[in-house]
């Protein structure tokens, strides 16, 4: 991954346009942002190379796909067992993501299941990992703020360092 870089207004405008129009091509993005198609292409390539844009796949709502029960599980793991637990977590289909953390727990895991009974199965699978010493889970009732990035990027954009988009 390339070193991080500051984003400017045009970068944020392109990312906003991509978020709002995920199927838009370079020409459409050019129209939306008010810059040349070649500029759109070059900027997106730089954003990809810098690791800012990591993919163009569809965002998937797991609840709409039949996995309406989500939970967050805090794992306490054996000393030095991070690689072991990573491997074990990758083998469990219900694990959506996992993060090494500070604090009381060592790993925060987001899981999804079709029902409470299926969630129990995922929790049992987590407990089978030899690296897990203890786990604590909480069921998510609703999403208050969905995963988002644009407000953060907008707040840190370097003003005037790129050609200002004509429309937002």
Of all residues in the chain, what percent are helix, strand and coil, respectively (each to 5)? Answer: 35, 20, 45
* 9-58+149-156, CATH topology level: Arc Repressor Mutant, subunit A (1.10.10)
Query: In the chain, what are the domain boundaries?
Result: 9-58+149-156, 69-140
Per-residue model confidence (pLDDT) at position 77: 97
DSSP state of 8: B
Per-residue model confidence (pLDDT) at position 20: 93
Residue 29 φ then ψ, to 5°: -65, -35
**Would strands 95-100 and 69-77 be described as parallel, antiparallel, or unpaired?**
unpaired
* 69-140, CATH topology level: Alpha-Beta Plaits (3.30.70)
| Cα angle for residues 141, 143, 148 (degrees, 5° grid) | 155
Q: What is the pLDDT along the chain (168 residues), one digit of tens a residue?
A: 445 668 999 999 999 999 999 999 999 999 999 999 999 999 999 999 999 999 988 889 999 999 999 999 999 999 999 999 999 999 999 999 999 999 989 999 999 999 999 999 999 999 999 999 999 999 999 999 999 999 999 999 988 756 545 444
Per-residue model confidence (pLDDT) at position 167: 44
């Amino acid at each position: 991954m390339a070193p991080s870089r500051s984003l400017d207004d045009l970068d944020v405008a392109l990312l906003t346009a991509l978020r709002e129009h995920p199927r838009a091509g370079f020409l459409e993005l050019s129209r939306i942002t008010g810059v040349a198609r070649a500029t759109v292409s070059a900027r997106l390539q730089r954003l990809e190379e810098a690791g800012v844009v990591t993919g163009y796949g569809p965002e998937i709502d797991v609840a709409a796909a039949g996995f309406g029960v989500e939970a967050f599980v805090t794992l306490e793991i054996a000393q030095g067992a991070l690689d072991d637990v990573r491997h074990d977590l990758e083998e469990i289909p219900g694990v959506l993501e996992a993060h090494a953390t500070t604090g009381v727990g060592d790993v925060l895991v987001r899981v999804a299941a079709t029902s409470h009974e299926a969630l129990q199965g995922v929790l049992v699978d987590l407990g089978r990992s030899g690296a897990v010493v203890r786990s604590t889970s909480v069921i998510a009732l609703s999403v208050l703020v969905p995963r988002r990035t644009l407000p953060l990027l907008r707040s840190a954009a370097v003003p005037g360092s790129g050609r200002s988009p004509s429309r937002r």
